[in-house]
Each structure stands twice: as C-alpha cells, then as structure tokens.
Copies of this chain bind each other. A is one copy, B any other.
Amino acid sequence: MNKHKIIILPDNIEISAEANTFLKKVLIENGVYFEFPCGGTGICRQCKLKIIKGDEEEEVLACKFKVQEDLIIKIPAREKKHNVLIDGDNRQAILDPLVKKVFLKLPPATLQDNRDDWHRITGQRGVKANLKVLQDLPGIIRKSNFSVTLVFSREEIIAVESGDTTEILFGMAFDIGTTTIAGYLLNLKTGEEIAQVSCLNPQTKYGADVISRINYASQSIEGLNDMHNEIISEVNSLIEKAVNEIGCSKEDVYAVTVAGNTAMQHLFLKIQPEYLAKAPYIPTVTGEVVLDAEDINIKINPRGKVFVFPNIAGFVGGDTAAAILAAQMDTSDNLKLLIDIGTNGEIVLGTKDRLLACSTAAGPAFEGGNITCGMRGAAGAIDHVFIDEEFKYTVIDDVSPCGIAGSGLVDAIAQLLKIGIVDKTGRLLKPKEVKNELGRKYRDRIIDIDGVLSFVLTYNTQTGKPIFISQRDIREFQLAKGAIAAGIDILLKAYGAKAEDIREVLLAGAFGNYLNYKSACRVGLIPEQLEDKTRGIGNAAGVGAKCGLLSEKEFERGAKLSQKVQYIELSSHHEFNQIFINKLDF
C-alpha cells in the first residue's frame, strides 16, 4: 500500500497514512483527539481542519477528505473529551453520549442559494430524511433565521431546534427489574448524574415473579397490553419525578436507555413473552432495539430515542448485558466471574476474548422467597448472623426484626455448619445429636415448629413470633445454592478453566452488597478459594445502562454482547443434573 506522511500542526506531530484513507480514520487510529458528533456523515461540519499548501489554506472536513498525497494539516484547539465518573465503584466513561447536539449558523436562503431546507441543514443531498423532523423544519429553521441546533442520534438527525440549545441535553438510564425499577437522570452535556429515582415494579400486582407475569401476559392481548402499559406509565412517572426534582422539563430528555431481564424487556416493548416460559424458551429478539420514544409512548422530548439493551438468551437479559458492560468484562484480559443473584441467578464467566453465560433457576430463596421467615433486604430484615460464644445478628435499619434476608440466611447456615448444628448433607441435627461444644450451647434453639425441626434465631421480634430457619428452609436453600454452584462449575468446565484461574468474582445487585463472602464460600455458593477475590459491584445493570447512555461506543459494545456472549442452556446440559446433585451438600 502507498503511504503518505501527514504533519499535524500546531503540535507538529508526524504520522503516516495509507493512500485513499479518510482523514477521520487516520486521526482516530493515531489517537489524535477530534470530535465527529454526526458520526462522520459530513452533516455537522464539526471536524473542519485546514490543509496547508504553501501560503494557502484550504478548509476541509476530516470525515470527507481522503488522503491522496503528503499533507500538512492544522487542527483547531478544542476542549478535551472528559472522563466522567459513573458510580462508587470508580467506573468511568468517556463522555460521548447516545444523543448529541450541534449548533449551526446556516446561510439564509436566497434565490441564488435556493437549496431545500433539508439539504441546507445536512449540507449535502441524499441524506435520509425523518418525516417528523421534516414536518418541524420549515417553521423552526426560519424562527431563528437559519441558526439551528441539530440533535443527532448516532448518524441520524432526530430533531432540529431553533437557535442554540446545545446546553440542554439530558438522558435517563433505567434498570427495569422484576421487583424494582431504578432510573438515573444524567446531564449529557457534563456527564453528571443529577437525580436518582426508583419504585416498585407496578406489575408486581400480577405476580411477584417473572413466570407469573409472563403467564398473565400470555392469556390475552389485553394481558400483554396491561403489563406493557403498567411499565411504560411507571417509567413515565419516574421521568416526571426526576425532571421535577431538578427543575428541568421532560422535553429536555432526549434519550433513554433500558436494561432489564428478557421478559421485562419484551413487556417494555409490548412483545409477547409467552414463549420465554415454555421450552425451548425462545426470546423474540436478542439484539439491541432502538426506537422512537413516541412509538412506545415514553414521554420525553417527542423526537427522543429509546435504546434497549440486547438480551443474550431467554433467561439472560439486557440487565446482564449491561452488567457485563459495567464490569468491563468484555474489554478485560482478566478472567472474571459475574454473578447476579435474584430469582434466577445469571452467571457470566470470561475475558474480552470469550464470554460464557448461563441462567440457573435458583428460586427466590436468596431474596427471602419460599423461606418460612424470609423477606427482602428491607428494614427489619436480619441481614447478618454471627454465632460464637455470643449469638449476634444485625437488622437492616436497626429496628426490631421481622424476618430474615438472603444474606442473613447465608450467614446463619454458614454459622450453623460451623457449630455443627447443620451437617454436611444439610440435615438440621436434633438437640441431642449435637456434638460440637459451641453447638451444644445453642441446642435449645432447636425446636419443633409446626411439625418441622427448626433453629430459632430470635424471639425478640416485631410480631412476638420467633424468627427461625426450618429444615425445609435449609433444603430450599440447598437447591438454590446448588443451582448457582453447578452453573459456575459448568461455565468453568466449558471455558476450560479452574476456579483458581478466576481473578475476580463480582456480585451484582443488592444481595451481593449485603452478602458476607466468607459465609457464601463456607456454604459453597462461591468456590471457597475465591473468597478474597470477591466483591459486590452494586446495581451493575443500572451502571451499565448509564455507561451506554453516556457513551455511544459503550452502548455499541453492549449491543454486541448478544452476539459475543455464548449462552449455555443448563436445562438441556447433559452434566447439569449430576453436578447439581453433587453441589447440594455443604
């Protein structure tokens, strides 16, 4: 290939470029800082630079100019793109949001320059026009005498506004969980998070878990419509709430990113999720879906866009894709294990070169479901238990306890194992069977409740009734932790790695933040040797949704995950049952 030399002023940098390459590509590849808000379509004219030829200067667009000879170019001084901090976990992104604004002062129309309005704003012919923008255009462009702000979403012009409105650019990132919806309002001009809102998922009234929601939606078109409308109107309320909090308008919000599990995302898009719940568990769509906010009745700027994260499989959704993005597993050389424990446990293992995922039907035990005294990790939940010479526990918000959270359950069982009250097979010993010295100290807590052998954590409760763990609860817990542990095992085998090869175990979600990792390892939820490598990363789906909103490139990386991540279906996996059974014991 023919190469040309390019000298870049004012810094006098010399680079070389292949003949016939666009300057845009050359600059990006050589790390020369330059912005292309319209994606290099030539519309925004922001990548102007000068070609110096002796005493003469010629202004060209970097995105449209091909290198054909040795060049001296002069690039204008600009502010640097800045890194923005996204969460407490120090996750950063380069600010380059999914929607961008560019202000243009256009030459007014004259008989000599009588280009059509669309041609005038795009600067070229043949750019695909959006009907709504065309309908707005003639009035808007004249209101401010041909000074307009173009709003871009990737390479598309999604809106045209009178005058310079570049200072007003907001977006919202949503994590739509089965139980909770969380929304984050971001200033896309600065990258700052300026409001956080959340609420219970209003679909909860149709059932607490995903399957009952799917069943309701499957019964009739109305069922689907109800579920869809519930979620859309709640998202709209959260948008309203967030913008009111900081005093901007919902019209100032131009983009929304959404990350949820596969069923939630189907319902959000009003796509029938029926077949997700029936073998072979097929989603309708896994790739990213980008749509006009108006098409789905999301009340932001009427020209705004909604970006839905890709699903990976029927039970590994956009929330997992967003979590992978948040954890930067797709760009890391280090082998990482991501576990998001909820009703299902989604598990992802891999590096930038290869990512494997599976979903285990862990059941709701970790969220307190199907546990006699279980409850979500809310005020009054016992979240930690420590049994030694003293019997200690902590309660969320330090109130009188009313139940036990998933993290408390993990702790309690780990402690009961330690003091020999629960044996390796998960059997709760009868008081007289307890041999361990420390265990004997607490054996009077082992009593029969409603015909089931149970261990009482406390009698000192809100209701006066004891909070306890029954033999049945321990069995339920074993099924849940066995499923997760088997999932991890199968991913490790498929990857050809051993537990000790894992450099980091990342626990996503609230449960991961409360969990005592030592206990988790003791009960076999996480391979024991990984205790020191484990950390909670909070609401990773929400962080991923924010990363995608703040950075087009990050969203595009996220969008590729549905192709990149290899899904392993456990329900048909030939080894699953055997491994699962092996993992039931402690």
Contact = CB atoms under 8 A, between A and B. Distances in A.
Interface of A: 109-119, 125-129, 131, 134-135, 137-139, 142, 269-272, 274-275, 279-287, 289-291, 295-296, 311, 313-314, 560, 562-563, 567, 569, 571-572
Contacts of A109: 275, 280, 282
Most buried by B among A110, A283, A569: A283
Contact of A138 (B115, B271, B567): B271
B569 A111 contact: yes
A314 B110 CA distance: 13
B313 A118 contact: no
Contact of A283 (B116, B125, B274, B567): B116
B289 A131 contact: yes
A111 B572 contact: yes
A129 B269 CA distance: 12
Contacts of A269: 131, 134-135
A272 B116 contact: no
Contact of A114 (B125, B296, B313): B313
A275 B572 contact: no
A68 to B, nearest CB: 19
Given A114-B280, A126-B287, A138-B275, 17 more contacts: A109-B280, A111-B571, A114-B313, A114-B569, A117-B275, A117-B283, A118-B284, A125-B287, A125-B563, A129-B287, A131-B269, A134-B269, A135-B269, A135-B272, A137-B285, A138-B282, A138-B284
B118 A285 contact: yes
A114 B314 contact: yes
Given A271-B135, A275-B142, A291-B131, A125 B569 contact: no
A329 B131 CA distance: 29
A274, A285, A311: most-surrounded residue (chain B CB, <10 A): A285
Nearest to A122: B287
A280 B111 contact: yes
Given A271-B137, A282-B109, A295 B131 contact: yes
Across the A-B interface, give the 5 residue pairs with the lowest CB-CB distance, nearest first.
A111-B572, A118-B285, A116-B286, A111-B280, A116-B283
A17 B435 CA distance: 84
Contacts of A127: 287
Given A138-B275, A142-B275, A563-B126, A286 B111 contact: no
A137 B270 CA distance: 11
A282 B134 contact: no
Nearest to A289: B129
A563 B112 CA distance: 17
Contacts of A571: 111
A270 B311 CA distance: 37
Contact of A572 (B112, B280, B281, B567): B112
A275 B289 CA distance: 37
Nearest to A131: B291
A490 to B, nearest CB: 15
A286 B114 contact: no
A110 B275 CA distance: 12
Contacts of A563: 125-126
B569 A284 contact: no
A446 to B, nearest CB: 44
Contacts of A119: 285-287
